[in-house]
Amino acid sequence: MSGEILTQRDGSIATVTLSAPARLNAMNLDMWRGIAETFATLNSEENLRCIILRGSSEKAFAAGADIAEFERERFDRDSARAYGTVMAAALDAIQNCRHPVVAMIHGACVGGGLELACCCDMRICGEGSRFGVPVKNLGLVVALNEMQAVAGVVGRATAVEIALEGRIFGAGEALRKNLVNRVVPDNLVTAEAIATAQRIAAGAPLVARWHKAFARRLADPAPLTEAEIEESYACFDTADFQTGYKAFLAKEKPEFEGR
């Protein structure tokens, strides 16, 4: 019943699973810690090219936080601050991971689950998936860093709408809100997320890491520095660039090494 974070490797792709099926993968404190630790470990792996984040069943990606533990872990300002620090570390670990992260969303993706999904670089869901942040019914706010993750994906106005109304909405609306990148039939979610990860992994890994870092930097309104713009040309000094353009001219499939 405590829940755990599971990791499985398939070549250059890792799958991280939120596993608490008895409570629709609702996240407890140990699972938040596990996310931070898992992504810190994966971040350090040179041979990794993509990560898939998913729930343990087709019923839910994650049904928010485990409210049953609030009485002992999140019952006043001080305990909430400590809990929030752990949550923030988990969200930051996903966002700051240098490898691209794809959220494979089956079923419910609400509350803290939606915040986790918004920290990923891409989100693929099924037609029956459901989304929302109904914390207004708990007298609970979406903390600033959690709201920032959602607003970074859907924009400030839509993030406020999601928090203020607390509605649970479907996949079609999620797509219109730009909350997800792609909606597929429920029975194809796993296959499509894996295919997406494979397409990412087939590219030059240094380029994928640069693109993730560039997109994250562009969320900061500060003007780009000369050094940051200069980094855009660093790829031309990599072995993978030589491999890539020569393979294109030879009409061959490139085999990138990440250097």
Tokens of 169: 């909405």
Q: pLDDT at position 71, please? A: 86
Both 70 and 196 in a single domain?
yes
Both 114 and 35 in a single domain?
yes
Both 171 and 210 in a single domain?
no
Place of tokens 């796993």: 190
Q: pLDDT at position 114, please? A: 97
Q: Which residues of the chain have pLDDT under 50?
A: none
203, 212 Cβ separation under 8 angstroms: no
Domain count, the chain: 2
The answer to the question of residue 255 being in a domain is: no
Both 178 and 217 in a single domain?
no
Both 34 and 130 in a single domain?
yes
Q: pLDDT at position 36, please? A: 97
27, 3 Cβ separation under 8 angstroms: yes
The answer to the question of residue 190 being in a domain is: yes
Q: pLDDT at position 190, please? A: 98
Both 59 and 132 in a single domain?
yes
Full residue range of the structural domain in which residue 170 is found: 4-200
162, 132 Cβ separation under 8 angstroms: yes
Q: Which helix (H) or strand (E) holds 118?
A: helix 112-119
Both 232 and 191 in a single domain?
no
Q: pLDDT at position 152, please? A: 94
Q: What is the pTM of this model?
A: 0.94
Both 195 and 211 in a single domain?
no
42, 93 Cβ separation under 8 angstroms: no
Both 164 and 229 in a single domain?
no
Angle between helices 144-154 and 156-165 (to 10 degrees): 120
Q: pLDDT at position 135, please? A: 92
Tokens of 82: 């400590």
The answer to the question of residue 256 being in a domain is: no
Tokens of 62: 């994650």
The answer to the question of residue 258 being in a domain is: no
